[in-house]
Chains A and B, each alone.
Chain A
Amino acid sequence: MAAHTSQSVAKAAGEDDLARGRSRRTGSRTEGSSGRNRPGLGQVISKHWYAWAMVAPVVLVLGVIIGWPLVRGIYLSLTDANERNVARTIGVNEIPATYEFVGLDNYTAVLADPVFLQRLVWTVTWTVACVSVTFTLGLVLANMLNRSFRGRSFYRMALILPWAVPGFVSVFAWRFLFNRDNGILNKVLEGGGIAAVPWLDDPTWAKLSVITVNVWLGVPFMMVALLGGLQSIPGELYEAAEMDGASAWQRFRHITLPGLRTVSMTVILLSTIWTFNMFPVIFLLTRGGPGDATEILVTQAFREAFVESPRDFAGSATWGVLILALLMIFALVYKRSLRKQGEVW
C-alpha cells in the first residue's frame, strides 16, 4: 500500500501537478468567484484565517529560534566577523560593527585546509561506528526483552536508565571511571594484574572510549524504539512460520527484520544526525583531545568560536553551515534510497 502511493508520486510528478491544478480550478469554480486560476492572497487569508492564526505562533517561534539564527549564521559565514569587530555595547560605550563581506573566502579557506578532511574522516568513522554498534546492541536487547521471562520489567527499567540520567552527568561519571591514574576501571584492571590503560591519554584508546560512552548513552533509545516495533509485528506470523518449520534464524531474518524496517530506518536516520553532532560526549570527555584526536566537526566549530581567541565567529559559522550541508545531503540520499526501496518517509 505504502509502496504504491510513493511510487506513483515519484513516477508521475507531472501528472500529480495536473491533478492539483484541476482540483484548484474546480474549487474556485464552485465558489463562483472571478474564475481566475489562482485565488488572491486576501482570499486565501480570509478563507483560512483561522488556520493561519493557529499556525502563526508556531511559525513565529520557529522563525525566531531557528530561522533567524540560521540566516544570521549563513550571513556571518560570508563575512570576516570575529570578536574584535562585531558590534558590542559595554556599559555606556557602544562599539559599532566593522566586519566586512568577504564572499566565499571562508569556505575556500576551510575546504583547502587539511584539517577539514581529517575532522570529516573521523566524524564519519565515529558516526558509522556509533550508529552500527548502537543499533546492533539495541536490536539484540529488544529481542531479548520481547520474550516473557521473570523480571522482564525490571530489566527494561534498568536498561532505560542511561537515558534517564542527564547526558552530562553520565559523561562526567565516565570521565572519572576512565581516569588513568585514579579511575576505577584501571584500579580494577590493576587488581587483575593488567597494566593501566591510557583510556583518554592515547589517541586510539580515546577514540574507543568516546565511542563506548556514546553507545552506552544511545542504546536505550534504540532498544525502546525497536521494542515498540517488535510489539507491532503480529504474533500470527511467527506462529505460521513455526508451523511451516522455519528456524529461529529464518523467523528473525524473514519476519522480524522486515517488520522492523520502518522503525529502524527512522531511528537510524535520527541516530545518525544526533551522533554526527554529538557535542557533549566528545567535549566533556576529552575536549577533542588528546591533542585533536577526537575532535569532530561540531567541536571544531565550537573551538573556533569559543576556545580560541580572538573568537572567530565567521570561521565557526562556516563550519556550521558545512555541517548542515553535509547532513542535508545525507538526508536527501537516504530519503531517495528509501523511496527506491518503497518506503514512505
Chain B
Amino acid sequence: MRRGIAATALVAALALAATACGGDKDGDSGDKKAGGELSGTVTWWDTANDAEKATFEKIAKAFTAKHPKVTVKYVNVPYGDAQNKVKNAFSSGADAPDVIRADVGWVADFASLGYLDRVPAETAKKVDSEFLPQAAASGKFEGTTYAVPQVIDTMGLFYNKKILKDAGVEAPKSLAELKTAAEAIKKKTGKTGLYLRGDDSYWFLPLIYGEGGDLVDAKNKTVTVDGPAGVKAFKAARDLVTSGAAITNATDGWNNMQTAFKSGKVAMMINGPWAVADAYAGDQFKDKSNLGIAAVPAGSAGQGAPQGGHDLAVYAGSKNRDAAHAFVDYMTSQEVQAQSAKELSLLPTRTAAYDLPEVKNNEMVQFFKPAVDKAVERAWIPENGSLFAPLQVQYTKAVTGASSPEDAAKAAGAEFRKILKGWK
C-alpha cells in the first residue's frame, strides 16, 4: 500500500508542476480608448546608435506629456541585430514591440510577411502630401503605406579639415583624386587617407553606383551585381586597400572606423548623418567646424550614393494599435523632426521641416539635403534587405583579397539569383 501512496504523491506533484508551468501570461493589455483617451503601454524598439539613443529616449518619453495615460517603454536594439530580433519577436508574438524603427530596406520585407499594420488612411494621405516623395515611397509595399518615414539619409565623405589642410589637399571628388590625396596625406602627416568599411556591404553601394551599376534592375527583373560595373566596383574597393589609400577591417568595422576617424588616425571616411553625433564626440572634432563633408567620391562613371533612412511601423499583432499609431504620428511630427535635426543632425522627412530655421541653419543638413535629393533610390522590393547578407560575404572577401573581384561578383550574382527566384 505504501507504494500506492508514493505513486499518488508523484502524480499529484506532476500535476501541480504542470499547472504551475501554465501560469497566466497576459496580465494587462489595457488599451482602447477609455472615453476617447489613449492608455496602456507602447513599446518602441529603436535602432539608433549609442550617440543618438539618449536623445531619442527623451523624445519618446515626452509622448506621455501629451497622453498621460500612455506609458512609453523605450528599448534600444543595436541596428546590426535588429532585423533578426524583430523577425523573431514578430513571428512568435512573444514580447513583441508595438512600434519598430525599421531601416527603409526592411519595410517591404516585414510588410510582405504580414507583420505590419497598415498606416491609418488619414495618416497615409498626409504621408503622400507632406513628406518627401522618395521617403514616402520607402514605407510602401504594393501601393499600401505600412510605415511612416522618420529620418532620411544618404552617404557623404566625412573629412578632417585640419589633416587635409596640413597635407595641402582638397576634399577629393573622385576615387582617383582620393588616391593622390591619400598619398599626400601619408607623406605630409603620416596618417592614412581613408577608412573603408569592409564588413558591411552597404558601403559597397556608392562604389557600384559610381561605376554606373546597381545591385539589381527591378524593372527588368535582372541581377546586375555581376555585370561589368559590379566587377569594377569590387576592383575599386580592393584597389583602395592595396594602394594604401584606405585601411579596412573584416570585423568590428563600425567601431574601428569611428575610433580611427575620431582620433585622427585616418583623414576621411564614407558615412551618413547617423555618424555625425558620434563624430562630434571625438577628440578631433571638439571644434565642430573641423568636420568637413563632401559628396561621395565618384567612380569612373559618375557619383552616386544610396538613399537610406528609417521608418516607423506598427506591429500588426500589437494589442495597443491606436496608441501605437498615435505614437508614430508624434515621432514623425514636424517638431520632433526639427528637434532631431537640431540635436543629432538627422534629416527630416517632412518637406516643410526644411523651412524651419533650426533645420535650415544646420551645416550637416545643408550638405545632406541636396545630396539626398539626388541620391539613388533603391528598388523597394521585399528582398531588398536580403541582398546584404550574401553580398557582405563577397564584399569582405574582395576587399581583403580573399577572392578576386571577378569571383566575388560572380558569387554575389549567383547568391542573388537564389533569393530572387526567376530573375535573369
**B313 to chain A: closest CB distance in Å?**
13
In the complex where A90-B316, A181-B256 touch, is A309 in contact with B109 (Cβ < 8 A)?
Answer: yes
Choose from B3, B112, B319, B400 the contact partner of A291 (Cβ within 8 Å): B400
Interface string of B61-80 (1 = CB under 8 A from A): 00000000000000000000
Taking the closest CB of chain A, its distance from the CB of B104, in whole angstroms, is 15
Given contacts A201-B249, A289-B393, A309-B389, contact A50 B402 (CB under 8 A): no
19 interchain pairs (CB within 8 A)? A53-B10, A88-B91, A88-B113, A90-B93, A91-B315, A91-B318, A179-B251, A179-B252, A200-B250, A200-B251, A289-B251, A291-B400, A291-B402, A306-B84, A307-B84, A308-B390, A309-B109, A310-B383, A311-B87
Contact B87 A83 (CB under 8 A): yes
When A201-B249, A202-B400, A307-B84 are in contact, do A289 and B199 touch as well, CB less than 8 Å? yes
Knowing A181-B249, A290-B251, the reply to whether A91 touches B316 (Cβ < 8 A) is yes
- Give the 5 A-B CB pairs with smallest separation, nearest first: A290-B250, A91-B317, A291-B397, A201-B250, A309-B386
Given contacts A91-B317, A93-B316, A181-B256, contact A201 B91 (CB under 8 A): no
Q: How large is the interface on A (under 10, 10 to 19, 20 to 34, 35 or more residues)?
A: 35 or more
- A203 and B113 CA atoms in complex are apart in Å by 36
**Which residues of A line the B interface, CB within 8 A?**
50, 53-54, 57, 83-84, 88-93, 95, 175, 179-182, 198, 200-203, 206, 286-287, 289-293, 303, 306-311
- Contact call A201/B83, Cβ cutoff below 8 A: no
Known contacts A91-B93, A303-B389, then 13 further A-B pairs from the complex at CB < 8 Å, ordered by chain A residue: A83-B87, A88-B91, A88-B113, A90-B90, A91-B117, A91-B317, A93-B317, A198-B250, A286-B251, A291-B250, A291-B393, A291-B403, A292-B393
User: Which residues of the other chain, A, contact B318 by a CB distance below 8 angstroms?
Assistant: 91
Chain A residues in 8 Å Cβ range of B394: 291
CB-contact partner of B396 in A91, A291, A306, A310, under 8 A: A291
Check if B316 sits within 8 Å of A50, measured CB to CB. no
CB contact list, B108-159 vs A, under 8 A? 109, 112-115, 117
Please give me the residue from chain A that is nearest to B13 by CB atom: A57
Contact with A along B381-404 (1 / 0, CB 8 A): 001011001100110110010110
Report Cα–Cα, A89/B113, bound state, in Å: 11
* Contact A289–B250 (Cβ < 8 Å): yes
Q: Which residue of B lies closest to A176 (CB)?
A: B252
- Interface size range of chain B in the complex: 35 or more
Contact B259 A182 (CB under 8 A): yes
Q: How far is B394's CA from A291's CA once the two chains are assembled, in angstroms? A: 6
Q: Which residues of chain B come closer than 8 Å to A180, judged between CB atoms?
A: 249, 256
Q: How far is the CB of A287 from chain B (nearest CB, A)?
A: 7
Residue of A nearest to B117 (CB): A91
Q: Which residues of B contact A (CB under 8 A)?
A: 3, 7, 10-11, 14, 83-84, 87, 90-91, 93, 109, 112-115, 117, 198-199, 247-252, 255-256, 259-260, 265, 315-319, 383, 385-386, 389-390, 393-394, 396-397, 400, 402-403, 419
A93 to B91, CA, bound (A): 12
Question: How many A-B residue pairs lie within 8 Å, measured between CB atoms?
Answer: 114
Q: How far is the CA of A111 from the CA of B332 in the complex (A)?
A: 50
CB-based nearest A residue for B248: A201
Q: Would you give the shortest CB distance from A279 to chain B, in whole angstroms? A: 15
- Measured between C-beta atoms, what is the minimum distance from B259 to chain A in Å? 6
Q: A289: which B residues are within 8 A, CB to CB?
A: 199, 250-251, 393, 396
Chain B, Cβ-Cβ closest to A57: B14
Q: Is the CB of A287 within 8 A of B251?
A: yes
CA separation between A179 and B402, bound complex, in Å? 19
Chain A residues, Cβ within 8 Å of B260: 181
B84 and A88 form a contact (CB under 8 A): no
List B contacts of A83 (CB < 8 A): 87, 91, 113
The residue from A53, A57, A89, A181 contacting B93, defined by CB atoms under 8 A apart: A89
Majority SS of interface residues in chain B?
Answer: helix
Instruction: Give every chain B residue within 8 A of A182 (Cβ-Cβ).
Output: 255-256, 259
Q: Across the interface, do B385 and A309 meet the contact criterion of CB distance under 8 Å?
A: yes
Q: Is A84's CB under 8 angstroms from B385's CB?
A: no
A238 → chain B, closest Cβ, in Å?
Answer: 49
Contact assessment for A50 and B7 in the assembled complex, using a CB-CB cutoff below 8 Å: yes
Q: Are A293 and B256 in contact (CB under 8 A)?
A: no
* Inter-chain contacts of B383 with A (CB < 8 A): 309-310
Which residues in B have their C-beta under 8 angstroms from that of A91?
Answer: 93, 117, 315-319
Residues on the A chain within 8 Å of B389, using CB: 303, 307-309
* Partner of A308 from B91, B114, B386 at Cβ < 8 Å: B386
Say yes or no: A309 contacts B259, CB within 8 Å. no
Output the nearest chain A residue to B106 by Cβ-Cβ distance: A309
What's the least CB distance linking A102 to chain B, in Å? 14
Q: Min CB distance, B393 to chain A, in Å?
A: 5
Question: Across the interface, which residues of A come within 8 angstroms of B265, CB to CB?
Answer: 181
- Contact indicator B252/A175 (Cβ below 8 Å): yes
Cβ contacts under 8 Å, A92 to chain B: 317
**With contacts A181-B260, A201-B250, A287-B251 known, is A84 near B112, CB below 8 A?**
yes
Q: Are B113 and A84 in contact (CB under 8 A)?
A: yes
Shortest beta-carbon distance, A209 to chain B, in Å?
A: 10
Q: Specify which chain A residues have a CB less than 8 angstroms from the CB of B256 in the assembled complex.
A: 179-182
Task: Decide if B400 touches A290 in the complex (CB within 8 Å).
Answer: yes
Smallest CB gap from B259: residue in A: A182
B250–A53 touching, CB < 8 Å: no
Chain A residue nearest to B251 (CB atoms) is A200
B199 / chain A contacts, CB cutoff of 8 Å: 289-290
Q: In this complex, what residue of B is CB-closest to A295?
A: B393
Q: How far is the CB of B38 from chain A (nearest CB, A)?
A: 18
Verify B7–A293 contact, CB threshold 8 A. Answer: no
CA distance A202 to B38 in the complex (A): 55
Contact between chains at B84 and A53 (CB < 8 Å): no
A308 to B115, CA, bound (A): 18
A52 CA to B393 CA, complexed, in Å? 53
Q: Which of B83, B248, B396 contacts A309 (CB 8 A)?
A: B83
CB pair A290–B397 under 8 Å, yes or no, is yes
Question: In angstroms, how far is the closest chain B Cβ from the Cβ of A189?
Answer: 17
Q: What residues of B have a CB within 8 angstroms of the CB of A292 in the complex?
A: 393, 397
Cβ–Cβ < 8 Å partners of A203 in chain B: 400, 402
Which chain B residues border A309 with CB–CB below 8 Å? 83, 87, 109, 383, 385-386, 389
